[in-house]
């Protein structure tokens, strides 16, 4: 997944583009580049490394002027991070930046570009070489013919020296927005251009945008002109930076109480839901997501099954779509996605819809592809999340799932009102318990000192504790680069316990009190083989080398409080290890490729 941006009719296009790229950097940051047309000639610069490296290089080129240009920040899919593999890619009169994957690039090279010596190892270069090879003198026609040959996902912005006053964009599967303001802009997401535009258009699959200095026209891949209606959008929240926090991740961990409170308050007031999802009681419910969103789904499954008394299937999106899922009009499908742009989750949404299922998405970005294509949307109010490792958006997803479980229980009449009323009032104060959970930070800092050099750390839990263990393990892995594994505690003895030896670090999430005695047995089993165990618990009974206490809450909501020490632990270990906490290696905030 990468971020692309383009603009036309913008004085100082280069700085507008680099500013936009800085806002898109969360989408990928191993290399970056820019191209502008100056005096009917394409000028470009591209560099391995962060956008700051590109900006530094541009500072040495005072004549990088022009009012039309394109830019790109990369997360490598084909070809290692390098200057040559960075975008834009150039061929003849064309420059191209691309977000997505061209799945048939090898076949296209074989068929059309056999004699062309490529300058990079990327799939994207095939696009620009094809444009050059097929160029008929008419850009729209050439783009139309080229787009029809491409398979996979692509959001591309194109410059052509023969049309120095026109910016072209093409979309299939990867997100692309067009904004009109003082000039016209194209971007992978709204954050890059939000403060520069007054009118917003969302490009759909199979569309080409022809962008002049003042307006955008839209065509199908068959060159049929189409009229698009603008989308409503809110001006961006002012991103007040890291404030007095060292990293965005720590700031966002501390923003979790507010994120949960705002999300709950948006839909639940005085114990009454402001939700209206036209759904009959289904045979079963699917929850589909990736990464941390999937882990939120694991926790959501528990409350759904407890209150709705129907099976809930939670699946990883990349597996769901190829598993021939047993989806029909009676199996509503919930898609959870912070960015609302995750390609696997978007594809799963489309798969569920194609099989007749009603779809409901829990997203944190209103103007996202998943929100746009869902039948219903529950928008979490976590605010913009900048750290690649999600925390507050994940916690807001949990709150959204708790609300949905209670809402559907009331709607389908599957839980008594005494139960639902109690849960709603506990949910309305959950944010205060999350706030209290933050009090463990000093203890966590000491624990981080002990664990910072660990090579392996195992996270175990039973029931909801397993969902917490999964998310705690992912957090630590993705920002500290320590190998971690989450395991159902009762399953350890069926093989994985062979890895436990003297000094092995194990973290146990004691989330469901009724399962504590069983979890204690599993803790004792690994201790007997030399493990050093840290337990996260809201009770005083669990015995372990270290015990981190969390506030007591309804066990159905306990992942929300128990994840806080695990997030803080991953943060402080990564900090001690000198890792790039907000932008970990190899990752990106929004994975818009399969
Ligand atoms: C979470 O810390 C990771 N960055 C990643 O697993 C993320 O949760 C996953 O890629 C899903 O992203 P989404 O919520 O935007 O769909």
Q: What are the pLDDT digits (tens) for 292-328?
A: 999 999 999 999 999 999 999 999 999 999 999 999 9
How does pLDDT run across 417-430, given as a tens digit for each residue? 999 999 999 999 99
Q: What is the pLDDT of residue 191?
A: 87
Q: What is the pLDDT of residue 60?
A: 86
Q: Which tokens in the block code for residue 128?
A: 């620009």
- CB of 95 within 8 A of CB of 158? yes
Q: Write the CB contacts of 198 (distance below 8 Å, at least 6 apart in sequence).
A: 180, 181
Q: Which tokens in the block code for residue 176?
A: 């692309």
| Mean pLDDT (the chain, rounded) | 95
The answer to whether 589 is a known catalytic residue is yes
pTM over 0.85: yes
Minimum-distance ligand 1 atom for the alpha carbon of 370: 16
How does pLDDT run across 146-178, given as a tens digit for each residue? 999 999 999 999 999 999 999 999 999 889 999
d(CA 206, CA 155): 10
Please name each of the domains of the chain with its CATH number. 3-226 (3.60.20.10), 248-428 (3.40.50.10490), 435-594 (3.40.50.10490)
Pairing of strands 94-102, 89-91: antiparallel
Residue to mutate, 342, 394, 571, ligand 1, most ligand atoms under 8 Å from C-beta: 342
Q: Which whole number is the average pLDDT over 72-93?
A: 93
Residues having CB closer than 6 A to ligand 1 are 290-293, 337-339, 342, 345, 388-390, 478, 590-591
* C-beta neighbour count of 585 within 10 angstroms: 11
CA 474–ligand 1 middle distance (angstroms) = 10
Return the residue matching tokens 């403060």: 195
Q: Where are the alpha helices (DSSP H) in 65-154?
A: 105-112, 124-134, 139-149
d(CA 365, CA 337): 9
Q: What is the pLDDT of residue 211?
A: 98
Q: What is the pLDDT of residue 243?
A: 87
Q: Which amino acid residue places its CA nearest to atom 3 of ligand 1?
A: 389
Distances (CA, A) of 184 to 156, 196, 219, 224: 16, 9, 17, 21
Q: Write the CB contacts of 56 (distance below 8 Å, at least 6 apart in sequence).
A: none
DSSP, res 25: G
- CB of 371 within 8 A of CB of 396? no
Is the pLDDT at 544 greater than 70, yes or no? Answer: yes
Q: Which amino acid residue places its CA nearest to atom 2 of ligand 1?
A: 389
Rounded to 10°, the helix 558-576/464-480 angle is: 20
Residue count of the chain, please give it: 594
- CB of 25 within 8 A of CB of 197? no
Minimum-distance ligand 1 atom for the alpha carbon of 295: 8
**Taking CA 520 as the corner, what is the angle to CA 517 and CA 526, rounded to the nearest 5 degrees?**
150
Torsions phi, psi for 324 (to 5 deg): 50, 55
CA 43–ligand 1 middle distance (angstroms) = 36
Distances (CA, A) of 58 to 7, 45, 316, 461: 18, 7, 42, 51
d(CA 95, CA 284): 49
Q: What is the pLDDT of residue 237?
A: 65
Q: What is the pLDDT of residue 434?
A: 98
Pairing of strands 285-289, 312-316: parallel
390 closest CA partner among 363, 371, 359? 363
Q: What is the pLDDT of residue 153?
A: 92
Is the pLDDT at 350 greater than 80, yes or no? Answer: yes
d(CA 570, CA 583): 14
How does pLDDT run across 404-419, given as a tens digit for each residue? 999 999 999 999 999 9
Per the rule left: phi > 0, alpha: psi between -120 and 50, beta: everything else, 236 is beta
Question: What is the Cα gyration radius of the chain?
Answer: 25
Q: Which whole number is the average pLDDT over 57-74?
A: 91
The number of CA neighbours under 13 Å toward the Cβ of 24 is 34
């Amino acid at each position: 997944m990468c971020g692309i941006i383009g603009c036309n009719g913008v004085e100082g296009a280069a700085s507008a583009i680099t500013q936009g790229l800085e806002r898109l950097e969360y989408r990928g940051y191993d290399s970056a580049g820019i191209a502008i047309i100056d005096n009917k000639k394409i000028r470009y610069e591209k560099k391995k490394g962060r956008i700051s490296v590109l900006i530094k290089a541009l500072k040495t080129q005072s004549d990088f002027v022009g009012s039309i240009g394109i830019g790109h920040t990369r997360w490598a899919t084909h070809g290692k991070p390098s200057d040559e593999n960075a975008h834009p890619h150039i061929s003849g009169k064309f420059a191209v930046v691309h977000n997505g994957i061209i799945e048939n690039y090898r076949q296209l090279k074989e068929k059309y570009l056999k004699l062309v010596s490529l300058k990079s190892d990327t799939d994207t270069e095939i696009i620009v070489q094809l444009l050059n090879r097929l160029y008929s003198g008419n850009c729209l026609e050439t783009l139309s013919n080229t787009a029809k040959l491409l398979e996979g996902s692509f959001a591309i912005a194109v410059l052509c020296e023969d049309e120095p006053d026109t910016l072209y964009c093409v979309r299939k599967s990867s997100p692309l927005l067009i904004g009109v303001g003082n000039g016209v802009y194209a971007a992978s997401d709204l954050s890059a251009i939000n403060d520069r535009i007054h009118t917003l258009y969302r490009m759909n699959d199979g569309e080409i945008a022809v962008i002049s200095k003042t307006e955008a026209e839209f065509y199908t891949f068959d060159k049929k002109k189409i009229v698009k209606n603008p989308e409503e959008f809110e001006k961006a929240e002012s991103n007040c930076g890291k404030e007095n926090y060292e990293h965005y991740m720590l700031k966002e961990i501390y923003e979790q109480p507010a994120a949960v409170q705002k999300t709950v308050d948006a839909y639940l007031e005085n114990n009454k839901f402001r939700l209206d999802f036209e759904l009959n009681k289904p045979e079963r419910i699917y929850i589909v997501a990736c990464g941390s969103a999937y882990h939120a789904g694991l926790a959501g499954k528990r409350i759904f099954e407890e209150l709705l008394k129907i099976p809930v299937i939670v699946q990883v999106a990349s597996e769901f779509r190829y598993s021939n899922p047993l989806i029909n009009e009676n199996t509503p499908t919930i898609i959870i996605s912070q960015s609302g742009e995750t390609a696997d989750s978007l594809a799963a949404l489309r798969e569920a819809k194609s099989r007749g299922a009603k779809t409901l998405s829990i997203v944190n970005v209103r103007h996202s592809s998943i929100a746009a294509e869902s039948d219903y949307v529950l928008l979490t109010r976590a605010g913009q999340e900048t750290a690649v490792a999600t925390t507050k958006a994940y916690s807001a997803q949990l709150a959204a799932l708790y609300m949905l479980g209670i809402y559907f229980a009331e709607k389908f009449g599957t839980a008594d009102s005494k139960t639902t009323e109690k849960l709603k009032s506990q949910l309305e104060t959950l944010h205060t318990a999350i706030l209290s959970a933050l009090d463990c930070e000093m203890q966590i800092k000491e624990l981080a000192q002990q664990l910072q050099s660990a090579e392996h750390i195992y996270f175990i839990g039973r029931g909801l504790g397993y969902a917490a263990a999964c998310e705690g393990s992912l957090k630590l892995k993705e920002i500290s680069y320590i190998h971690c594994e989450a395991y159902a505690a009762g399953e350890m003895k069926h093989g994985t316990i062979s890895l436990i030896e003297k000094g092995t670090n194990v973290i146990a999430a004691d989330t469901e009190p009724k399962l504590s005695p069983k979890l204690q047995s599993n803790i004792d089993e690994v201790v007997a083989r030399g493990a050093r165990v840290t337990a996260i618990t809201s009770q005083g009974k669990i015995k372990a080398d270290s015990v981190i206490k969390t506030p007591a809450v309804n066990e159905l909501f306990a992942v929300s409080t128990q994840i806080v020490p695990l997030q803080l632990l991953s943060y402080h270990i990564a900090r001690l290890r000198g890792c790039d906490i907000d932008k970990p290696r190899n990752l990106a905030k929004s994975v818009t490729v399969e």
